A = this chain, B = another copy of it.
Amino acid sequence: MVVKEAVVGVSARHAHLSQEDLEKLFGEGYELEPLRDLSYKGVFAAKETVSIKTEKGVMENIRVLGPVRKQTQIELARTDCFKLGIKPPVRESGKLADSAPVTLIGPKGEIELPEGAIIAARHIHIGLDTLEEWGKESGDTVKVRVGGERGVVFDNVVLRGAGQGIHTELHLDTDEANAALLNTGDKVEVILEG
């Protein structure tokens, strides 16, 4: 059994907005204001937040991440989804066909999106150089082992290769991190089968 290492990044619920939706929610010509850089290259937490509205209630303070994307995508933990009474599918980022409809509220407007809400599929951001060193291809899956009193093995963790020389980072949502008592910055074992 070949074991490698990855660093954990925990993602709380958040929103990626298209420029068009950003302007509908925050006003014409609006631009996101970066609050702090995230570990993943070029991505930042913005000053802006939005609310999600469902029949069951409103969830406020959903952090917007920048820069803007081609299509608006809302990433929620399943705990959030029960609270909101919605059932988004588990999906890789960007694969939004048949994802859940969602209504967003901003300071200047409200939009009803026919799709865009997902529960993010856990994945590892990895450089193409490291991927080659591991003998894997982007899209392959691995297992991740976590020790400790809430030790678990996560199955079906997708490797997402891009760039060179970036550090190898396991992205989990808050349910997954809390189930395993993990925090951002913790180290975990990646198990390469065979």
Contacts and interface: CB of A to CB of B under 8 A. Distances in A.
A20 interface: no
A181 interface: yes
A193 interface: no
A174 B176 CA distance: 10
B77 A178 contact: yes
* Most chain B CB atoms below 10 A, which of A152, A154, A174: A152
Contact of A149 (B79, B90, B150, B176): B90
A180 interface: yes
Contacts of A154: 151-152
B178 A79 contact: yes
A84 interface: no
B175 A79 contact: yes
Contact of A155 (B122, B152, B155, B178): B152
Contacts of A90: 149-150, 181
Contacts of A151: 154-156
A78 B154 CA distance: 18
Nearest to A144: B152
A43 interface: no
A37 to B, nearest CB: 22
Interface string A43-83: 00000000000000000000000000000000001110010
Interface of A: 77-79, 82, 90, 121-122, 149-156, 174-176, 178-181
Given A79-B175, A79-B178, A152-B152, 7 more contacts: A78-B181, A79-B174, A82-B174, A151-B155, A175-B175, A178-B179, A179-B180
Closest 4 CB pairs of A and B: A151-B155, A78-B178, A179-B179, A175-B178
